[in-house]
Amino acid sequence: MVKKDKESKRKSVGKKTKAGRGKPPKKEVEQKTVKERKASRKEVDIDEWINENIGDFVNLSGLSILGLSDAQYVELLHDILTQLYGSPTTRTDVETVVKRYNRHKETINELIANRIVQTFESLTPNLLDFIVASVKDSVLLVAPRIYEQVVREKRTDLIEVLRIKWFNAWVNRRYKIPPITCPRCGFNSLMPDLTCLVCGASVSESQLRKHVNFGEGLKRLASELPCSELRELLNYDLVLLNSMGIRKPTELKTPVDIEVYLTPEEKKIIREAYNSRCRTVGNEGSKRSEGVDGGSLRA
């Protein structure tokens, strides 16, 4: 009797095991259903969507002003449109993509402008207009690459806009004091080695002196310095020059300072200013003279 009970229990256990194998747990069924649902959801072919909708996007966004072919627009905007489209598992219409573009229009347009400069060797008037209007701090990279083309088009209006943007971008990104203006192109872009970052000109010291009216600036400095500093300046053969004016060589040199070596005539300006302003006169002068004669300092 006991033996039969044991055998019946073993059979019943075997039946449960077979039943368990035949029917998977509820959680497993739910996971499988989700996977099947995802697999059945067809992803959008982004490349195909862009090729089919590029014309509508360009017209609705206003980028038709660039005057490019559909193929050029696709090459220029492909990855931008891919990001604006979003998830390929959802169907997005052109109007929605345009709205997303408009929310970030300034940033995207500057990116497009930089790409145009890098991609096209020759720029049409429409492209130049778009580039100049769209660039911000990136003008520091763009201006040297498009300057000659803007000049050839005789677009003085665009050059003036570029100059202002260059000045602001330099102060924002490079240094708080802009360089001296270049005598050739008028940008604040003349470096300490007397070469221009924008037009590439190499400026001579005589051109620089004439451009900044160096003699008058030196007279102004000599008239403003205290006698002790003016006397110290007599011991140096150079001064520092930047867009803020002429500075003493003993001051902290900035990245945009140009070293200008003084001619004998320019040193004479400093010496005469010292003698006229700082010499003691009368009885006190007979006891102690601080005048300068022939460039030698006597105390």
DSSP 178: P
Residue 28: C-alpha distances to residues 18, 21, 23, 185 (Å): 18, 13, 10, 73
Least confident of 3-7, 69-73, 122-126, 221-225: 3-7
Residue-level length of the chain: 299
pLDDT in tens, 271-298: 999 999 887 533 333 333 444 444 433 3
Q: Among 44, 76, 40, which residue's Cα sits nearest to residue 58?
A: 76
291: closest CA among 278, 283, 282?
A: 278
Of 36-45, 101-110, 157-166, minimum mean pLDDT range: 36-45
| Cα-only R_g, the chain | 38
Strands 296-297 and 292-293: antiparallel
Strand blocks (E) in the chain: 180-181, 188-190, 238-242, 245-247, 258-261, 292-293, 296-297
pLDDT tens, residue by residue, 13-61: 444 444 445 555 655 545 555 455 554 457 889 999 999 999 999 999 9
Closest among 283, 212, 221, 273 to 250, alpha carbons compared: 221
Q: What is the pLDDT of residue 279?
A: 76
| Predicted pLDDT of residue 146 | 96
From the number of C-beta atoms within 10 Å of its C-beta (0-12, 13-18, 19+), residue 249 rates as middle
